[in-house]
Amino acid sequence: MHRQLHLIILTVLMAALLAGCGGNKQDDNEDLPEARPLLEEGASYLQDAQSFELEMDVSGYPVNIKTDKLEPSDDEPLLFKYARGVFQAPDRIDANIEFGVGEFSTTAQLVALDREHYFRGQLLGNRWIRGELIEGFSPASLIAQPGGIPYALLSISNLTMQGRTDLDGLPVFHLSGTIQANNVHSLTFGLIRTQQGTINIEVYIQVKDRRVVQIRLIDPPPVQAEDEEPTSWQITFAGYNRDVTITPPPLQEEN
């Protein structure tokens, strides 16, 4: 009798557990917000931000950068590798940028106030000079309407909610889609290679506050290197609306 009672209790508990698991799975699906309104909300936070931290990392096929100030030689092109800095609305940025030169790496600090660039680097003896480090780049382009990062996000096609995931310990919603290559010009400081057609894009938005925390792009290699791996862009955002003041650095007086 006791054995039968134990079996009945065990059966009821297992049934309840299974029902609970099934219910949680359904709840998880129901908790997922619609992709388009979520993306619009995330884009609005970027558009309205007074400041944000920005980190840009590339891997795969190399990205050339044109500048007449840091070019080491005609035989060794300058390659963009990494950047990290802070943006102050509407048109200022202070960033450290890593370049590849042959088998070596070098760094430079860029302070840009609209199209007025100041930079220093190892190849310049760490002296501040005034000149255009990234050809045609203005920090104002990051939030420009049209053409800025929020504008680019709102232009994503084939938008799909991939679900919830974990990004470096942070709960996020994962969205994917496609975007016209000419709409991500500002997102990559104007360095993206592809200028026409569509490319794949992934967007990660924080569950807690609905802010965009990361964007990933896949840029195909050029036609002459179609067998090479593509360039993967990873742009990470943090530190929304922190107190930031970016001013021109002191230039060394010429003798």
Q: Which two tokens stand for residue 249?
A: 């650095």
Specify whether the CB–CB gap between 233 and 69 falls below 8 A.
Answer: no
* Domain assignment of residue 3, yes or no: no
Residue 90, preceding bond cis, omega within 30 degrees? yes
**Domain holding 74: CATH number?**
2.50.20.20
Q: Which two tokens stand for residue 56?
A: 């840009």
| pLDDT, tens digit (0-9, with 9 covering 90-100), for 96-142 | 999 988 788 889 999 999 999 999 988 778 899 998 888 888 999 99
| pLDDT, tens digit (0-9, with 9 covering 90-100), for 26-75 | 345 558 999 999 999 999 999 999 999 999 999 999 998 877 666 555 56
Show the domain range for 203: 35-238
* Domain assignment of residue 246, yes or no: no
Helix (H, G, I), strand (E, B) or coil at 253: coil
The letter for the amino acid at 190 is: G
Q: For residues 241 and 50, what is the distance between their CA atoms, to the nearest angstrom?
A: 5
Question: Among candidates 177, 91, 74, which has minimal Cα distance to 141?
Answer: 91
Q: For residues 49 and 139, what is the distance between their CA atoms, to the nearest angstrom?
A: 14
* Domain assignment of residue 15, yes or no: no
Sign of the Cα torsion 157, 40, 192, 63 reads negative
* Domain assignment of residue 26, yes or no: no
Look at the pTM and tell me if it is higher than 0.75: yes
* Domain assignment of residue 56, yes or no: yes
* Domain assignment of residue 28, yes or no: no
Q: Which two tokens stand for residue 20?
A: 């609970």
Helix (H, G, I), strand (E, B) or coil at 81: strand
Helix (H, G, I), strand (E, B) or coil at 28: helix
Domain count of the chain?
1
* Domain assignment of residue 94, yes or no: yes
* Domain assignment of residue 131, yes or no: yes
**Confidence (pLDDT) at 25:** 39
| pLDDT, tens digit (0-9, with 9 covering 90-100), for 143-186 | 999 889 999 999 999 999 999 999 999 999 999 999 999 999 88
